[in-house]
Chain A
C-alpha cells in the first residue's frame, strides 16, 4: 500500500441538501505534502473531517494509511495526527501539561510521556514557554503547540486544516519550515488545506484546487501554472491616449488579455524572452511607457482559469 490517502467519489450532503463535498477522488502517496486549496466554503474542511474520521461520508469510500475511514475508523485514528482549524487548546493549561495529557491519551508508557513532551517542546521551539499557560501564547505559538500535539504518537499521516490562517508572515514561515522538516526527516505524509496560494505554492508538492465541493484542477504547482500558459506583459503608456496604440504594437507578441484601465496587456507567445523585443517595438512606435510588468502565472491565475473567480481579494469580487 503506497497511498497514504485514497479516496473514491467521496460525497457529503448535509441536512437541507447542501452538498459540501460532491464527489472527490484523491490519491496521495506516502511521503507527499498535498495541499488542498480553495476559498472558504469550498468543502476543504468537510473533506478533512471525513478523512480524519470526524464525519461520515454520505457517499464514496476513503482509505487513510490503508484503513477504511468508516469501517476501520479506530485504526485510522491510530495512524493520523490532526490539527484542525482554530487550535483546540485549553487556555488554562500549560504547553507541557497538554503535551503530557495527549501522551497519556494515546497510551504512551509513563516515562515516554515525559520524554515525548520534552522532545516535541524542543522541536517546535516552546521549551521556554512550556510552563506558561497557553492563554498567554501568541497565535504562532499556539499553532506550533497544536502541531506538536498532533505529533505525540508519531503519526504516519498528518492533517492540517488551515494551519496558518490568521498568523503573521514570520510565524507562517516558521510553521512551514517545521512542516517541511517533519516531512523530510520523518517521512510523514502531510495533507493540508489552505486558502493561501502562497502556502500551497511554498509547501505542497502537489495541489488540488477545490471549488464547490469538487476538485477542479490538480497537479504540482509548476505544472498547474504551466498549463495556464505564458507570462503576461502589462504596459502602462505615459500618455493614456496611447493605450490603443500600445495594444496594437504589443499585440504582435501574443494575444491580448484583459488588464486594468490605462494599461495594455498580452500573453507573451514566446515567453519572457520577447520582453526586450516588445519594448523596442514600443520605442520605435514612439510610445513612452511609464510602467512595465511581467506577470508570471500564479496559482491564482489557475484558480481564475478554472473557476472564473479570484481566490484572494474578496474586494475584487465585491466590486464586480
Chain B
C-alpha cells in the first residue's frame, strides 16, 4: 500500500490543548467511575507494601547489605508507587482499546479533532491519575509512620517521575491497544510488566541480591527508575539519582509515545 501524504490536522494549538484537556478529563472521569479500573492500581501496591513491610520490617539495620534506612515502609513506598503507575498505564491502554472496540475512536477520527490530542488526551489523563495515586500512597505511608527525607522537594521529584512514567507506560499501553485493537490483549501484557518489576530493585535493594538475578536487576532500567524515586524518600533530595531516573523515563517515553503515535497514524491511514 502506498503511504498517503500525512494530512495536516488543521487544528490550532489552542484548540488542540482544549481538546486534550477535554479528553483527559474524560479519561479521568471514566477511570474513577469504574472501580475495576482503579481498584487494582490501589489494592495490589498497598497490599504488597503491607506484606513486605510486615515480613521484612526488621531487615534494615539487621540484614547485612541492606541500605541504612529508617524503616522498611520508607523503603517500600517507591516500589508501591511504581507498581501503581504500571497498573494504571496498562489500564490506560485497556481503556484506549475499549475506545477502539466500541467505536469511540472512530467517532473522534471522523471529527475534526487534532490527531495529537487523541493521544495526548489519554496520556494527560494518565498523568492526573498517577499524581493522585503517588500523593495518596505517600500520604498513606506517612500516616503509618514513614518519612520522606527529601521533604516537599523530594515529594515533588517523586511525583514528577511518577507522572512521566505514567506517560511512558501509557504510551506502551496505547501502542499495544492500537496494534491489537483488543482490551483483553492489552490486559494480557500485564504479567510482562510485573515480571519486569520483580526482576528489579522495586521491592528489595540490589545490595542483597546475588548472582544472575543481581545482573538482571542491575541492567533493568526499572531498578534505576525506582531508585531515583526511593533516594528522595530514604536519603534526601538526590539530584544524581533523580537525573538518571529522569533520563531513563524520558527515553522510555520517547520510544513508547513515538511508537504509539506511529501506530495511530497507521491505523487512521490504513484502516
**Nearest chain B CB to A19 CB, angstrom units:** 15
> 1/0 per position for A91-114, CB-CB distance to B under 8 A?
011000100011011110000000
Whether B30 and A77, one on each chain, are in contact in the complex, defined by CB atoms closer than 8 angstroms, is no
The number of chain A residues with a CB under 8 A from chain B is 34
Q: Among A70, A84, A101, A153, which residue has its beta carbon within 8 angstroms of that of B26? A: A101
Q: Which residues of A contact B106 (CB under 8 A)?
A: 49, 54, 82, 84, 88
Q: Among B108, B112, B271, which residue has its beta carbon within 8 angstroms of that of A107? A: B112
Residue of A nearest to B95 (CB): A90
A263 within 8 A of B: no
Q: Among B26, B34, B111, which residue has its beta carbon within 8 angstroms of that of A77? A: B111
Residue of B nearest to A104 (CB): B22
**Nearest chain B CB to A251 CB, angstrom units:** 54
Residue of B nearest to A87 (CB): B103
B residues 6-46 in Cβ contact with A at 8 Å: 7-11, 15, 18-19, 21-23, 25-26, 29-30, 33-34
A3 within 8 A of B: no
B63 within 8 A of A: no
Q: Which residues of B contact A190 (CB under 8 A)?
A: none
Q: Which residues of B contact A102 (CB under 8 A)?
A: 111
Q: Which residues of A contact B7 (CB under 8 A)?
A: 71, 73-74
Whether A92 and B30, one on each chain, are in contact in the complex, defined by CB atoms closer than 8 angstroms, is yes
A104, B33: Cα distance in complex, Å: 21
**Nearest chain B CB to A161 CB, angstrom units:** 10
Chain B residues within 8 Å of A, Cβ to Cβ: 4, 7-11, 15, 18-19, 21-23, 25-26, 29-30, 33-34, 102-104, 106-113, 269-271
A-B pairs, 6 with minimum CB distance: A88-B103, A55-B271, A92-B33, A104-B22, A82-B110, A74-B10
Given contacts A70-B4, A92-B29, 13 further A-B contacts (CB under 8 A): A54-B109, A56-B270, A75-B10, A77-B111, A82-B107, A84-B107, A86-B102, A87-B103, A92-B34, A104-B19, A133-B33, A149-B107, A153-B111
26 A-B pairs (CB sep. < 8 Å): A55-B271, A56-B269, A56-B270, A74-B8, A74-B10, A77-B112, A80-B110, A82-B106, A82-B107, A84-B110, A88-B103, A88-B104, A89-B102, A89-B104, A92-B30, A92-B33, A92-B34, A93-B26, A97-B29, A101-B26, A102-B111, A104-B19, A104-B21, A105-B19, A106-B111, A107-B112
